[in-house]
Chains A and B, each alone.
Chain A
Amino acid sequence: MTWLVMVITLSSFFSGCASTASAPPVASPPRASVAALDGIRRVVVVASGESQFSVEPGSREPGAEFESVMKWLPYKEILVPVARAVYWGITWLRDDARKSSTMPRDVTPAAVVTETFARTIVGVGPFDTIAALDREPVGDVRRNADAIVRVSVPSWGLVRVRDAGQPFAAAFADVRAQIVLRENGIVVWEYEEDVTSPGRLPVDSLMSDRALTREELVDVLERAGRRLASELLYALGRTR
């Protein structure tokens, strides 16, 4: 009997806790094909793609006060679902209004990331000339480029990052970069990253202060540009 207890206990110990020690696969960073990038000196960095702005909504679940009121209602079977639906609708409208009032209209996310990326790479990477553009190059600009770096920001906005008594949020930008050889269209490097601002601010502060929100959003886009540059330089290895 004792042995049985021991075996069961030990097996639960090893199957439960020991599983924490197993190493999960870690995605290796994208590696630039050095051979393919050899001789590339003139690069054009282009802002591309659409960007979806999002502000993570607050909880759409009614709180304890709502529940305490609901329990006194007559005809609960009918009225409670209706009240919940109304509550959800009002919350949805409020979140939608928040989103549209929070987004800085004068900021083009991919352009900010592109400019910062180009500025960071200049003089550090192996490229002689780097031009940042807000659209696909044409004419001589295209012909003179060895490679095109396409930078996109599929999504950006504010996201909740901590719940410590009150919710804290941070600016975020999900970014992608791709280097394509102009001559043959071959993709020689691709990278994407979830970039989050190091700052954690109370959600209410961010929602009520547009200037602060704009600053945080621009900061995270610049951080995204630097992060993309950093990972490209890392992938390139010894570059100077």
Chain B
Amino acid sequence: MIRRGLTIVACVVAVAAFTGCARRTIDVGYPEGASSPALLASVSARRVVVTAVGDRRADTSRIGLRPDDGKPIVSARPVTDVVRDALVLELGRNGHEIVRGRGDAIVAADIEDFSLDTVPAGGTTRFVGRVALALVLADGQTGERLLVRRYVGIRRRTAEADAKDAWREVMDTALTRAIHDLATDPDLVTALGRTAL
């Protein structure tokens, strides 16, 4: 009886292992080391509400396809969480307080693209990671929209098709570039400065 139970468990684990390997999971994120105070820190500290991030992608089930077998590449965490965490980290690093409920400013973001393309490139593979965010900044007290912007981060890299770190590095860097554009956008700084304290 015990033997049979163990056999079933082994089979279940084997199936889980093989189906898990059929698609590749990468733990994309905005590296903490890539974040530091930038132009956004020139505005005196605001209490900022970062709302749940929306996902406007046509296909939300994957971020790309494996170059070797065409199986899906997925993010270990929902990409909406990845982007929200990045926004929270960046705003916090720039001295602003992230709050729930009522704040001085409201940041709402939608993901328009979060994808990893692969193209054969003369015996190697070209990886192109893209992150496109649509961001709305509103006054926390009046709800007035102060700024609507789109930030696009792209990373292009050539590597071996099975280079395990390349997929993640490409997506991390694309996200980092989008967030750095956001943090150095003088119009966003001006708009944030217009929110009432």
- Does B associate with A? yes
Binding site for B on A (CB under 8 A): 2-3, 5-6, 9-10, 12-13, 16-17, 19-26, 28-29, 56, 123-124, 159-163, 172, 193-196, 198, 226-227, 229-231, 233-234, 237-240
**B168: nearest chain-A partner, CB-CB:** A24
Could you write out 17 A-B pairs with CB less than 8 Å apart? A2-B7, A6-B10, A9-B14, A12-B17, A26-B173, A123-B186, A159-B156, A160-B126, A162-B117, A162-B119, A195-B154, A196-B156, A227-B177, A227-B181, A230-B180, A233-B39, A237-B38
Contact partners of A193 in chain B: CB under 8 A: 177
Contact partners of A160 in chain B: CB under 8 A: 119, 121, 126
Contact partners of A24 in chain B: CB under 8 A: 164-165, 168-169
Assembled-state Cα–Cα distance A25/B169 (Å): 8
**A164: nearest chain-B partner, CB-CB:** B117
| A-side interface mostly | mixed
Given contacts A28-B33, A234-B180, contact A163 B152 (CB under 8 A): no
Cβ contact within 8 Å between A20 and B154: no
16 extra interface residue pairs, beta carbon distance < 8 Å, beyond A124-B39, A159-B156: A2-B3, A5-B7, A6-B13, A17-B17, A24-B164, A26-B173, A124-B186, A160-B119, A160-B126, A163-B120, A172-B156, A230-B180, A234-B180, A234-B183, A237-B38, A238-B42
Cβ contact within 8 Å between A161 and B164: no
Assembled-state Cα–Cα distance A198/B156 (Å): 11
Closest-CB distance, A11 to chain B (whole angstroms): 10
Is B57 an interface residue when CB atoms closer than 8 A count as contact?
no
Contact partners of A23 in chain B: CB under 8 A: 27, 168
**A31: nearest chain-B partner, CB-CB:** B36
Which of B21, B24, B34, B39 touches A238 (beta carbons < 8 Å)? B39
**B165: nearest chain-A partner, CB-CB:** A24
Assembled-state Cα–Cα distance A16/B19 (Å): 12
Which of B39, B132, B168 touches A239 (beta carbons < 8 Å)? B39
Interface centre among B128, B130, B164 (most CB of A within 10 A): B128
Q: Which 6 A-B pairs have the closest CB atoms?
A: A24-B165, A13-B17, A233-B184, A26-B31, A2-B6, A6-B10
Q: Give the interface size bracket for B toward A.
A: 35 or more
Given contacts A29-B34, A230-B181, contact A159 B126 (CB under 8 A): yes
Cβ contact within 8 Å between B38 and A234: yes
Cβ contact within 8 Å between A237 and B37: yes
Which of A19, A56, A123 touches B164 (beta carbons < 8 Å)? A19
Contact partners of B117 in chain A: CB under 8 A: 161-162
Is B96 an interface residue when CB atoms closer than 8 A count as contact?
no
Closest-CB distance, B41 to chain A (whole angstroms): 5
**A226: nearest chain-B partner, CB-CB:** B181
Interface centre among B17, B39, B172, B184 (most CB of A within 10 A): B184
Contact partners of B14 in chain A: CB under 8 A: 5, 9
Contact partners of B37 in chain A: CB under 8 A: 237-238
Closest-CB distance, B139 to chain A (whole angstroms): 22
Cβ contact within 8 Å between A194 and B21: no
Interface centre among A19, A21, A234 (most CB of B within 10 A): A234
